[in-house]
Amino acid sequence: MSDDYLPGLENVIASETNISYLDVEKEEIVVRGYDLIELAQNVTYLDIVGLLLDGALPNPDERDSIEEKLREEYGLPQNVNTILQLLPEQADFMDVLRTGISAIASYDVDLEDRSREANTRKAIRLLAKVPEIVANGYRAQTKQPFIDPNKELSYTANFLYMITGRVPTKMEEAIFDQSLIVYSEHEMPNSTFAARVIASTQSDLYGALTGAVASLKGTLHGGANEAVMAMLLEAGSEANLEALMLNKLSKKERIMGFGHRVYMKKADPRALLMKEALAELALDKNQLELYNICVLGEEVMKREKNLHPNLDYYAAPVYYLLGIPIELFTPVFLAARTIGISAHVIEQHDNNRLFRPRVHYKGPRDLHPPQQSGHLSRKDEYE
Ligand SMILES: CC(=O)SCCNC(=O)CCNC(=O)[C@H](O)C(C)(C)COP(=O)(O)OP(=O)(O)OC[C@H]1O[C@@H](n2cnc3c(N)ncnc32)[C@H](O)[C@@H]1OP(=O)(O)O
Ligand SMILES: O=C([O-])CC(=O)C(=O)O
């Protein structure tokens, strides 16, 4: 047994993978051989779905076929919608999503089949249904009618439409699609690791994704995008944001949306892309003040802590301007990441080794319980 202990498994290699790798030196997020940022600038989210599931970028016919399969899987069982409606009003939307994903598992006739073909079918089913759980979960909680998926719209436009009730403009659709790509896959974050750990017991994809939802909810991970928006709104102006951030830092509080376990003092390339998207969107929507506030926040953190923004910092205001309710920012992240996590679960099932690490035990040894007189041992009771 190795004696090395690295808290938080920092820099520990936990898997071999053909899916993705963060090459921090080259500032590249390698996804199946491509640079994720270059992909986000040139292809669509459904191309990424094909790439992650099949290992190669789909041609236009193959992409259409993926979209067709997704459309065939649109729709939630009525009972699942009822479950979403029965959750209490104060339910957190990541908990709603976790419940919804857990509930649809029981409707899958392939549930116990771990073959690549069955897992791929499950991944497509999840990709079709998770956006609807996100949208319906929100609509149920806010007492609004559900919006049926619109098969005339692209996968991406339909996702936004089910949330906001409005067909997005071409520009909004393109920016949302780009955000789904940059959120789609990121090597071995806590949520993907959680999913692989679960899958390594030969548990199913739905269970692994459900565990990943719980992981992603935390503010040190996906939950940061909602916390970022809360901070930006609380500030409301550049002057206030600087004061707010300095106050938090003086109290040794973390500023959400900054820092990263792997990038550390380097920039997250995805944040830079979302910053560009924010500039475009802010200009289009006459909201340049929001863009300027964000840029100032970035400058303050660079100056005070030499920390860069991560994806969540710039994705948050982008989602805000797209009209997505703040409580859905992290659920949308999970929806986008469903494909990456599915690819990891499939890879884990294809080449499995049970995760079962050891510990450095630091507790006491050689203690004994008090020997109570009159207390019958189980053996005595049966004699
Ligand atoms: C898409 C995503 O999930 S990206 C992550 C989203 N999460 C966030 O944005 C939450 C805010 N960020 C953080 O809490 C951290 O940067 C993490 C959790 C993402 C990474 O943390 P770790 O790798 O564990 O870094 P660690 O906690 O060791 O921090 C190193 C130093 O930077 C500081 N630091 C790191 N992030 C921040 C931050 N956001 N605000 C203030 N200080 C920070 C730490 O206080 C620490 O300082 P110290 O050495 O003086 O004690
Ligand atoms: O990689 C991580 O640890 C967190 C992250 O940025 C992501 O999941 O997108």
Q: Which ligand is nearest to the CA of 184?
A: 2
pLDDT 10s digits, 113-124: 999 999 999 999
pLDDT of residue 378: 59
As annotated, the active-site residues are 221, 260, 312
Assess whether 190 and 129 both reside in one domain. Answer: yes
Asked whether residue 369 is assigned to any structural domain, the reply reads: no
Residue nearest to atom 22 of ligand 1 (CA): 261
Assess whether 80 and 163 both reside in one domain. Answer: yes
Q: Which residue has the tokens 């699609």?
A: 177
> Taking each helix axis from N to C terminus, what angle separates 78-86 and 93-105, rounded to the nearest 10 degrees?
150
pLDDT of residue 374: 65
DSSP annotation of 326 reads G
**Spatial contact of 19 and 52, defined as CB atoms under 8 Å apart:** yes
Assess whether 158 and 236 both reside in one domain. Answer: no
Assess whether 103 and 154 both reside in one domain. Answer: yes
> Taking each helix axis from N to C terminus, what angle separates 45-54 and 60-73, rounded to the nearest 10 degrees?
90
Residue nearest to atom 45 of ligand 1 (CA): 254
pLDDT of residue 3: 76
pLDDT of residue 128: 98
Q: Which domain holds residue 269?
A: 224-321
Q: Which ligand is nearest to the CA of 183?
A: 2
Instruction: Identify which of 216, 252, 258 to mutate to test ligand 1's pocket (most ligand atoms within 8 A of the CB).
Output: 258
CATH number at residue 260: 1.10.230.10
Asked whether residue 250 is assigned to any structural domain, the reply reads: yes
**Spatial contact of 208 and 196, defined as CB atoms under 8 Å apart:** yes
Whether 379 has a pLDDT exceeding 70, the answer reads no
Average pLDDT over residues 166-179: 98
Q: How many CB atoms lie within 10 A of CB 260?
A: 21
**Spatial contact of 41 and 62, defined as CB atoms under 8 Å apart:** no
Q: Which ligand is nearest to the CA of 222?
A: 1
pLDDT 10s digits, 110-164: 999 999 999 999 999 999 999 999 999 999 999 999 999 999 999 999 999 999 9
Q: Taking Cα atoms as reference points, which of 145, 112, 111, 149 lies closest to residue 128?
A: 149
pLDDT 10s digits, 43-54: 999 999 999 999
Residues with CB under 6 A from ligand 2: 186, 189, 221, 260-262, 310-311
The dihedral through the CA atoms of 8, 12, 15, 16 has a sign that is positive
pLDDT of residue 336: 98
Contacts (Cβ under 8 Å, ≥6 apart) of 316: 225, 226, 228, 229, 232, 257, 329
Beta strands 34-35; 20-23: pairing state: unpaired
pLDDT of residue 14: 95
CATH number at residue 335: 1.10.580.10
Assess whether 189 and 240 both reside in one domain. Answer: no
Instruction: Provide the edge-to-edge strand list for the sheet that holds 20-23.
Output: 20-23, 28-31, 34-35
Asked whether residue 79 is assigned to any structural domain, the reply reads: yes
DSSP annotation of 2 reads -
Q: Is 58 in the pocket of ligand 1 (CB under 6 A)?
A: no
DSSP annotation of 327 reads G
Structural domains counted in the chain: 2
Average pLDDT over residues 167-186: 98
Q: Mean pLDDT score of the chain, rounded to an integer?
A: 95
Residue nearest to atom 51 of ligand 1 (CA): 252
Q: Give residue 311's identity as a one-letter amino acid code.
A: L
pLDDT of residue 383: 56
Residue nearest to atom 15 of ligand 1 (CA): 259
Between the CA of 254 and the centroid of ligand 1 the distance, in Å, is: 7
pLDDT 10s digits, 5-27: 999 999 999 999 999 999 999 99
Angle ∠(277,282,288) on CA atoms, nearest 5: 130
CA–CA distance, 331 with 130 (Å, rounded to integer) = 9
Q: Taking Cα atoms as reference points, which of 351, 20, 13 lies closest to residue 199?
A: 351
User: Which pLDDT band holds residue 188 (cuts at 50, 70, 90)?
Assistant: very high
pLDDT of residue 380: 59
Q: Is 320 in the pocket of ligand 1 (CB under 6 A)?
A: no
Instruction: Identify which of 94, 249, 261 to mutate to test ligand 1's pocket (most ligand atoms within 8 A of the CB).
Output: 261
CA–CA distance, 215 with 221 (Å, rounded to integer) = 8
Q: Both tokens of residue 154?
A: 């692209």
Assess whether 91 and 35 both reside in one domain. Answer: yes
pLDDT 10s digits, 285-334: 999 999 999 999 999 999 999 999 999 999 999 999 999 999 999 999 99
**Spatial contact of 160 and 45, defined as CB atoms under 8 Å apart:** no
Between the CA of 170 and the centroid of ligand 2 the distance, in Å, is: 28
Instruction: Report phi then psi at 329, rounded to 5.
Output: -60, -45
Residue nearest to atom 3 of ligand 2 (CA): 189
